[in-house]
Structure 1
C-alpha cells in the first residue's frame, strides 16, 4: 500500500468525481482509476460506488476516517522530525511575575534585542515561589523578579547571582471622584483625633505576592501608624489595581502599573512622600551557567546594573 493511494482516495471522497480527482492529483483518469482499484484490493473491500456522482460504500466511509487520520499523523510526524533535525536558534527562557511581564519585561527585552541582536525568547509567568522554582530546576535561564525579603530568603546566594535592573516605587493610590479629588486620604503628619484613628479601606496583597513583605516592613517602620481596614485581598496586582480604580479602597501599587491611570487622572497618589516604598527589580541566574547567550546578556547588562549582595 502506498501513501499516494490514501491521498487519492481522500481526494476522490472530497470531489466525488474520478475525472476531477485525477486532475487535482495530476494523473490521468485511467491511471487514477487503477490506483483506487489497487487500494480496494489491498483493503479487501469495495470503497466507492462508481456512479455519478461517486459515493462511498459503508466500508469506504469507515476507511475514509482511517485514511484521513493516518495521513495527518504521518505528515505531522514528518514535520516534527524535520524541525528537530534542522538547526535551531537558541531560545532564551525567562521566568517572571505576571505584572512584570506586562509593565517591565517588554521594554527590557526590546532594549537587549537592540543591544545583542534579535533572538527568540520563551517567557513564563507565575507567583514568586513558582518562578524561582523554574530557575532552580533549569526550566528558566533567567529570572526577572521584584526584590523583597521573600525573594532574598528563597534564593540562595551561593547558587544564584543577581543584578539590579531597575528601581521601582510602591505608590499609595486612590480613585478620584467627579471633582478630581482622591476618594480616600492617608492622614498627614500631625493629624490627631478621629481623623487619625478612622480605619481606611485597604486593598491588600495576599501572602503569595512578593511585595507583601516589602510593604509590611515599610509600614511597620513608619514613625506613626496608619489605621487600615482590609476590605479586599488578592494574589494579583492587576486585580487590586482594578479594585482601586473602582474606588473600593486605598492600594499600594507599582508605579509602572499605575502610571497610565495617574496620567489620565483615574488614580491619584495620596499621602506624604514617606508613604512611598522604594524597591528593586532584579535579574537572577544560576552560578556557573554555560549558556553563551545568557552569559553575553549578563555581561552586557552588568555594565549598567548595580550588583546586589
Structure 2
C-alpha cells in the first residue's frame, strides 16, 4: 500500500469524479483508476460505487476517515522529522511526578535555561515507579523526583547517580471552621475522636516519608482515613473542602495558605522535611545532560 493511493482516494472522495481527481493528482485517467483499484484490492472491499454521480460505498465512507487521519499523521511526522534533521537541537528529556511538573519543574527549568542558554525540553509525568522505569529504559535523560525510602530502594546507586536539587516540606493543613480556626487540629488528645485523614495511596512517593515520620512520633496520632488518592492535587481539593486533615507538599499548598483557604496546624515536629532529587544514568554521554549535571552538582543542597 502506498501513501499516494490514500491521497488519490481522498481526492476522489472530494471531487466525486475520476477525471477531475486524476487531473488534480497530475496523472492520466487510466493510471488513476488503476491506483484506486489497487487500493481496493489492498483493503479487500469496494470503496467506490461507480455510478452517476459517483458515490462511496459504506466501506468507502468508513475508510475515508481512516485514510484522512493516516495522511495527516504521516505528513505531521514527516514535517517533524525534517525539522529535527534541519535543526538538530539537543532536546533534554525529563521525567518527573505530576505535582513536581507544576510546582517545582517550571522554576528549575527557567533557572538552568538562563544558565546554560535556551534549549528545548520534553517532559513526561507519571507515578514514581512509572517515571523511574522511563529512566531505566533510556526513554529520558534526567529524573526529577521526591526522594523517599521507596525511591532509594527502586533506584540502584550502582547504575544511577543523584544530586539534591531542593528541600521540601510536608505540611499538615486543614480548612477553617466558621470562626476562622482550623477545623482539624494536631495533636489529638486521647479523649477526642480520631481525626478524619486524607491519606496517600501506596503509589505516591511521599506515603513512605509520612508513614516513617508518624511512626517515629513519641505519641501515636489518632487518625481515621476518610479519603485516599493517588493524586496530591485531589487530596488538596478535599482538604480545602474541609473533608479532613492532610499532609501536603509546601510548594503545592503555599498559595492556599497565603489566601487563607487552608491553615497550618500542629507544631514543628508535625512538619516533615525531605528532598527533591535529580537522577541520571551513570555514563550518560549527552553533552547537554553532562553540562547541566556538573552545574547543578556544584550548587547542590547539602545533605540532611
Question: Normalization by structure 2: what TM-score?
Answer: 0.79
Note if contact 1:164-1:281 (Cα within 8 Å) is conserved in structure 2: yes
**Match in the other structure for 1:161:** 161
* Partner residue of 1:273 out of 268, 274, 280: 268
User: In 1, distance between residues paired with 2:190 and 2:221?
Assistant: 13
State how far apart, in whole Å, the 1-side matches of 2:182 and 2:169 are: 19
**Inter-CA distance 36–128: structure 2 relative to 1 (3 Å threshold):** same
- 1:52 is matched with which residue? none
Taking the TM superposition and a 5 Å limit, the aligned residue runs for 1:202-281 are 202-281=197-276
Is the 8 Å Cα contact of residues 8 and 32 (structure 2) preserved in structure 1?
A: no
How many pairs were matched up? Answer: 289
Q: 1:156 and 1:262, CA in 2 relative to 1: closer, same or farther beyond 3 A?
A: same
- Alignment of 1:134 with 2:140, yes or no, is no
Q: What are structure 1's unaligned runs of at least 5 residues?
A: 27-31, 50-54
Q: Secondary structure at the match of 2:226?
A: strand
Q: Which moved more, 1:37-46 or 1:121-130?
A: 37-46
Question: Residue 80 and residue 13 in structure 1: after superposition, are their counterparts in 2 closer, same or farther (change >3 A)?
Answer: closer
Q: Is the 8 A contact 2:10 2:68 kept in 1?
A: no
Q: Which residue of 2 aligns with 1:84?
A: 81
Asked whether the equivalents of residues 163 and 308 of structure 1 are also in contact (C-alpha less than 8 Å), the reply is no
Secondary structure of residue in 1 paired with 2:90: coil
1:10 Cα offset (Å): 6.0
Alpha-carbon distance between aligned partners in 1 of 2:134 and 2:7, rounded to the nearest angstrom? 45
Deviations 1:92-134 (A, max 9, x none): 1111111111111111112222222222222111221221121
Task: Tell me if structure 2 keeps the 8 A contact 1:95–1:143.
Answer: yes
Is 2:164–2:301's contact at 8 Å kept on the other side of the alignment? yes
Secondary structure in 2 matching 1:253: strand
Residue 210 to residue 47, structure 1, CA distance change in 2 (3 Å) = same
User: Greater shift after overlay, 114-123 or 246-255?
Assistant: 114-123
Counterpart Cα distance in 2 of 1:233 and 1:210: 14
Q: Find the residue that maps to 1:194 and give its secondary structure.
A: coil
Q: CA deviation at 1:178?
A: 2.9
- Please state how far the C-alpha of 1:212 moved relative to its aligned partner: 1.3
Q: Residues 301 and 223 (structure 1 numbering): CA distance in 2 closer, same or farther, change over 3 Å?
A: same
SS in 2 for 1:140: coil
CA drift at 1:142 = 0.6
Q: What is the distance in 2 between the residues matched to 1:193 and 1:39?
A: 86
1:5/1:35 contact within 8 Å kept:
no
Structure 1 or 2, whichever has the larger Rg, is: 1
Alpha carbons 1:207, 1:235 under 8 Å: kept: yes
Any stretches of 5+ residues in structure 2 without a counterpart?
Answer: 38-47
Name the TM-score, length of structure 1 as normaliser.
0.77
Question: In the TM superposition, what whole-angstrom CA distance separates every residue of 1:238-270 from its partner, at most 9, and x where no partner exists?
Answer: 121111111111111101111111111111000
CA contact (8 A) 1:172 1:253 kept: yes
Instruction: Find the counterpart in structure 2 of residue 147 from structure 1.
Output: 147
